[in-house]
Structure 1
Amino acid sequence: MTMSVLDAAQPAAARAVDVWKVYGSGETEVAALRGITLSVEAGKFTAIMGPSGSGKSTLMHCLAGLDTVDRGELFVGDTTLTGMSDKQLTQLRRDRVGFIFQQFNLLPTLTAQENILLPLAIAGRKHDQEWFDRVVDTVGLRPRLGHRPSELSGGQQQRVACARALLSRPDVIFADEPTGNLDSRSGAEVLSFLRASVREFNQTIVMVTHDPNAASYADRVVFLADGNIVSEINDPTEDVVLDTIKQLDANANRVMETA
């Protein structure tokens, strides 16, 4: 498909340019991110994978404005995060970024509907009822809107969290192991909803996961190791993701053996 001039001029949903993140100093210094440059395409589903300590969660937190970097630049759309004050970052996260976490992060005293509407209520913004209805019906929560989290299954709670993230129509949604606490069936339901939100609503999603099956729902998978991007694949299948992980593990073992 030929890209139009308008498409070419459209900024990425999120970008990291030569980003470094270092923890500690001296002998205890650890570089979590080592000069990473990554562009997240708008309207696409990007998965970030890598072994424990690879920097994948750190990268996501930096892209989302939850953490700062030591060097490099970060962008949401055409807005640079570098140099923003805490107040400015808080406003950006509230107005332009959505979040889905492994632990759901729902308030136990509120109903599903109240949890979905909470971020807009805190921001003093009215919700679009037509959009609310569309999101709720897409995620299949209509019969459960009056229930509190304790009355919902894990999969239903995570779908509430997904609807909450989507309701403000953010530039990008960051999902950190969103199926980590779910059984395979509930996880598939949540992933199918995230996939549908990209396809039907043109939502941009960045998901950190260790699960090859979850990654297969994405348009693109980026692999990290030791704070570097070491590989990426487009239109992934679970088998291709598994094969890539095995190859990267084999390469890492060979490097260790020759070190």
Structure 2
Amino acid sequence: MTLTTAAPPRQWAVQTTDLVKVYGSGDTEVRALDGVTVRFERGRFTAIMGPSGSGKSTLMHCAAGLDAVTGGTVRIGGTELGGLSDRALTRLRRVSIGFVFQSFNLLPTLTAEQNIRLPLDLAGVRPDPAWFDHIVDVLGLADRLRHTPSQLSGGQQQRVACARALLARPEVVFADEPTGNLDSHSGAELLDFLRRSVHELGQTVVMVTHDPVAAGHADRALLLADGRLAADLTDPSADSVLDQLKRLGG
């Protein structure tokens, strides 16, 4: 798929158009994103990569509504984020967007089950019991639901974070360096699950990573350089991503 491919709007989980993000002003101005137009197709696993300072994390933060844009538009499903109030944006993030971060972001006083349910509880939404049971079963967490984060391994904590992200059946799951705090075995298991969530559960996943091996699990890899889209790879391998990164100075 290329950026110019036409498709019905329903096929896109996330769209950014002429996205600009500027930090600072005058001599300290940094143009982190410089007119990025990109579409993330439903039911696909996309990795975002690039050298340090390329804008990859900024793109994810703006696309997820975590950071306000300087110019351009972001659309999640059929909703443009720029027109939302703070309250509406918060509700959209709780229900339509799932997040998986490097640091897990679990509340230490809550059990695994309570952490999984927390975003929907805050939004006043009752989860589908069958879907909850299915996610827990797929992630192997059924015997860990009453445990607090301190009683779980790093891999188990990240699986709890994945379950939390998937419970609302969101339009998209954004994963920011999700394997960064995991050992190689736990990291490989997590990447396998993210891929399965796309191909078996129909989820849309957008992952920021610095690891070409992690990007090799994706259906597509976008590479940024100097705040602009520099490459768009279909069915990437670790080697093809690494070759592109070398060309970009990463």
Q: For the aligned residues, what is the CA RMSD? A: 1.2
Partner in structure 2 of residue 225 of structure 1: 225
Partner in structure 1 of residue 12 of structure 2: 12
Partner in structure 2 of residue 242 of structure 1: 242
1:136 partner amino acid: V
Partner in structure 2 of residue 105 of structure 1: 105
CA contact (8 A) 1:11 1:78 kept: no
Separation in structure 2 between the aligned mates of residue 175 and residue 169 of structure 1, nearest angstrom = 15
Length, aligned pairs only: 244
Q: Deviations over 1:58-89 (max 9, x none)?
A: 11011001111111111001211123221121
Alignment of 1:163-182 (within 5 A): 163-182=163-182
Partner in structure 1 of residue 57 of structure 2: 57
Separation in structure 1 between the aligned mates of residue 224 and residue 9 of structure 2, nearest angstrom = 28
Secondary structure of 1:10 counterpart = helix
Separation in structure 2 between the aligned mates of residue 237 and residue 146 of structure 1, nearest angstrom = 39
CA contact (8 A) 2:113 2:146 kept: yes
Q: What's the offset of the Cα at 1:209?
A: 0.3
Q: Deviations over 1:41-64 (max 9, x none)?
A: 011001000111111111101100
Q: Which structure 1 residue ranges, 4+ long, deviate > 3 Å from structure 2?
A: none
Partner in structure 2 of residue 153 of structure 1: 153
Separation in structure 2 between the aligned mates of residue 59 and residue 9 of structure 1, nearest angstrom = 21
Alignment of 1:81-100 (within 5 A): 81-100=81-100
Q: Deviations over 1:187-239 (max 9, x none)?
A: 01111111110011100010000001111111000001110110110101111
Change in 2 beyond 3 A, CA 1:38/1:9: closer
Residue identity over aligned pairs, in percent, reads 62
Whether 2:23 is the aligned partner of 1:41: answer: no
Q: Deviations over 1:98-154 (max 9, x none)?
A: 111110000111111111111111112212111011101111111211111111110
CA contact (8 A) 2:212 2:242 kept: yes
Q: What's the offset of the Cα at 1:9?
A: 4.7
Partner in structure 2 of residue 27 of structure 1: 27
TM-score, with length taken from structure 1 = 0.91
TM-score, with length taken from structure 2 = 0.95
CA contact (8 A) 2:95 2:119 kept: no
Q: Pick the structure with more helix per residue.
A: 1
Whether 2:100 is the aligned partner of 1:68: answer: no
2:74 partner amino acid: L
Separation in structure 1 between the aligned mates of residue 69 and residue 119 of structure 2, nearest angstrom = 26
Partner in structure 1 of residue 202 of structure 2: 202
Q: What's the offset of the Cα at 1:8?
A: 3.2
Secondary structure of 1:145 counterpart = coil
Separation in structure 1 between the aligned mates of residue 230 and residue 241 of structure 2, nearest angstrom = 13
Separation in structure 1 between the aligned mates of residue 78 and residue 110 of structure 2, nearest angstrom = 36
Q: Structure 1: which 5+ runs fail to align?
A: 1-6, 253-259
Q: Structure 2: which 5+ runs fail to align?
A: 1-6
Separation in structure 1 between the aligned mates of residue 83 and residue 121 of structure 2, nearest angstrom = 28
